[in-house]
């Protein structure tokens, strides 16, 4: 038996010298799609609850306040990230940058879905004989969800850096 080293096939891709590719901002169509899905779900929740003979869920002011707290935290993280990366020209550690970007992307989608859900639920009470205090907190929840989307998009933007590669 001979020990022969077989060269790798010629069609194997060559390892690049550094990381390749880039990330694009979250497309507006995706955000709108998640918000519309939430809107339809929130609207349907009232109708389905009535049809099944159940009492529709009661929305208190705690839910919109929790979403408002989320938006405030995201806004602060976006502001701190912007100052670090764009004002002071410092680099984030790689895991910090990835964590913030993943947080921003997840919160954009979840805030759009939840905000749309609250807005749809609020709209389903328009014209109802009695809403028992469900419409106004639901509208506030939709607004707080929209603020969460804006804050998460700002955080996503704060994570962007300029391409310093002049070879392209």
Q: Are 113 and 152 in contact (CB under 8 A)?
A: no
The two three-digit tokens of residue 105, written as one number: 């992307």
The crossing angle, in degrees rounded to 10, of helices 135-158 and 94-124 is 160
pLDDT for 112 equals 98
Alpha-carbon distance 66 to 111, whole Å?
11
| Domain-wise residue ranges, the chain | 66-160
- Our separate counts of H helices and E strands in the chain read 4, 0
Q: Are 35 and 118 in contact (CB under 8 A)?
A: no
**pLDDT tens digits, residue range 63-122?**
999 999 999 999 999 999 999 999 999 989 989 999 999 999 999 999 999 999 999 999
pLDDT for 96 equals 93
Confidence of residue 163 (pLDDT cuts 50, 70, 90): low
For residue 9, pLDDT beyond 80:
no
pLDDT for 168 equals 47
CB atoms within 10 A of CB 78: 22
Q: What's the rounded mean pLDDT across residues 27-45? A: 96
Confidence of residue 160 (pLDDT cuts 50, 70, 90): confident
pLDDT for 165 equals 57
pTM above 0.85, yes or no: no
The two three-digit tokens of residue 64, written as one number: 């919109």
């Amino acid at each position: 038996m001979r020990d022969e080293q077989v060269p790798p096939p010629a069609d194997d891709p060559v390892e690049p010298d550094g990381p390749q590719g880039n990330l694009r901002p979250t497309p507006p169509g995706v955000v709108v799609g998640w918000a519309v899905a939430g809107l339809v779900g929130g609207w349907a929740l009232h109708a389905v609850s009535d049809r099944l003979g159940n009492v529709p869920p009661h929305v208190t002011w705690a839910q919109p306040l929790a979403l408002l707290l989320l938006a405030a935290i995201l806004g602060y993280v976006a502001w701190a990230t912007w100052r670090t990366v764009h004002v002071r020209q410092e680099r984030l550690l790689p895991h910090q940058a990835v964590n913030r970007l993943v947080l921003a992307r997840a919160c954009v989608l979840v805030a759009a879905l939840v905000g749309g859900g609250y807005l749809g639920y609020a709209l389903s009470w328009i014209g109802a004989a009695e809403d028992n205090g469900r419409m106004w907190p639901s509208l506030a929840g939709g607004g707080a969800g929209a603020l969460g989307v804006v804050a998460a998009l700002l955080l996503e933007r704060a994570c962007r850096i300029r391409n310093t590669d002049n070879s392209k």
